[in-house]
Amino acid sequence: MQYFSGDELRRELDDVDNLTRQRLDEMSRLFLEDLGKGNGALERRGWPADQVYAAYMASKALVCAYTRVLAREEGAALRVNCVHPGYVLTGMNDYTGVLTAAEGAAAAVAVALAEKGGVTGAYFDRTELGASFV
């Protein structure tokens, strides 16, 4: 979460032992409120403040946190991970990506088909276990 300026917000998103689905829903609502307010509201709470990508960055961090909460709740019954597919050619990036949709999807498929009992609550950069999202 290199784009998050608030230490308190970072700590809360990283505290998977105490984070809940309800709190993540509340944080999502707070982000949307702050985004709508303008005038530095995002910065004051520590959200990403990039004028173009703030919502994208916040949503990705919240999805990663939600992944870790679900993994904690499900225990060994279900593996829950999130995968960054890479910079894929899509309309969202005006088709400037370097990977085809099939190449991006291959990363998620590879992680989903990993051995039974594998890692859960993790962030993958393509098929490599990535650094913490926080």
What amino acid positions are annotated as catalytic residues? 56
The side-by-side arrangement of strands in the sheet containing 128-129 is 82-84, 123-125, 128-129
Best CA proximity match to 79, nearest among 113, 106, 129, 130:
113
Angle between helix 21-37 and 7-14 (nearest 10): 150
